[in-house]
Amino acid sequence: MNAPLAYLNGRFLPFTEAALPLHDAGFVSGATVVDNARTFRHKLFRWPDHLARFRRDCGTCYVPLDATDEQLTATAEELVAHNARLLPPGGELQLITFATPGPLGFYLGDAPSGPPTLGVVTYPLPFARYRRFFTEGVTLVVVSQAREKWGSVLPPTVKHRSRLYWHIADRMARARSGRADALALLMELPDLTETSVANLLAVADGAVRTPPRASVLDGISLRVTAELCAGRGIGFTEQAVGMHELAGDLSEVMLTGTGFCLAGVREVWWEGRQRPLLVDWPGPVFRRLLAAWSDLVGLDIERQFLDAPG
């Protein structure tokens, strides 16, 4: 078949035919646990880590996951093998695995709920979306967000599909900065936390800091970056990054996320400033870590984004 496939509830089918019923809990209430992995040279990167986090998060969120790790791995690899053949030269895939509690029976009267929904889909890695991260640096806008109300129910470490607050936050960031590509950097007073696409990394005195991982998404790329710091002799600590440090102690600000691996921040906006704060971009620690990432995956990551079509 010369069209992308998807996997949904036990079978492979054309991507364009994969759909959830309108009474699925993933649609009705956004009750969806999700994972996002990517390929390098059409092979999934750190898949065991992604799979373990996905299974853990399903358990945390009371979403049944009956498939074994072996079944999920075979499904993911078969899907990548088929869909990668349809990519242009140099193309890569992002692979999304998702699970929901399944259809809600009360939408159909007295019908029973379930069974749970399990799906795996891919899409071409959007090089054009992230290219500006390497050519211009990232623009961040600090947006205040209070999550204490939900923290004891839904841990911030869980990766899920309830993205409405990120949708709003990023559009607030773009309105405040006048930049169509700006990203919101959430602040829970007095500390900075994360963005919609990546974990936050701050550099002070040549060492990297990231907010405590219990307070942010448990990012696989964040784990990799911590390992690379250890391998390159770069200090790495989990420590709160205070809002007051933006204009003082920090020399570099970076992001790490699945699609692009590592990106440097060029400017940060926040309320009350007429102009953004400019930080060192591309900074020396960013360059060292990006080189380490490239060595790890066996290709020049920056060049991949600069040379990709589109």
C-beta separation of 115 from 20 below 8 A: no
Q: What is the dihedral of CA 204, 253, 159, 167, to 10 degrees?
A: 140
pLDDT at 124: 97
Measured CA to CA, the distance from residue 205 to residue 224 in angstroms comes to 21
Q: Checking phi first, is residue 29 left (phi over 0); if not, alpha (psi -120 to 50) or beta?
A: alpha
**How many other β-carbons are positioned within 10 Å of the β-carbon of residue 122?**
26
**How many other β-carbons are positioned within 10 Å of the β-carbon of residue 206?**
12
Q: Specify the pTM.
A: 0.93
Q: pLDDT digits over 44-60, tens only?
A: 999 999 999 999 999 99
Low-confidence residues in the chain, pLDDT < 50: 148-152
Distance of alpha carbon 286 from its chain centroid, rounded? 19
Distance of alpha carbon 225 from its chain centroid, rounded? 14
pLDDT at 192: 92
CA atoms in the 13 A half-sphere facing the CB of 175:
7
Q: Where are the domains of the chain?
A: 5-125, 130-307
For residue 248, CA distances in Å to 183, 243, 283, 303 come to 22, 10, 16, 32
CATH code of 5-125, in short, is 3.30.470.10
Helix (H, G, I), strand (E, B) or coil at 157: coil
For residue 274, CA distances in Å to 102, 177, 217 come to 48, 10, 31
Q: Which CATH superfamily is domain 130-307 in?
A: D-amino Acid Aminotransferase, subunit A, domain 2 (3.20.10.10)
pLDDT at 150: 43
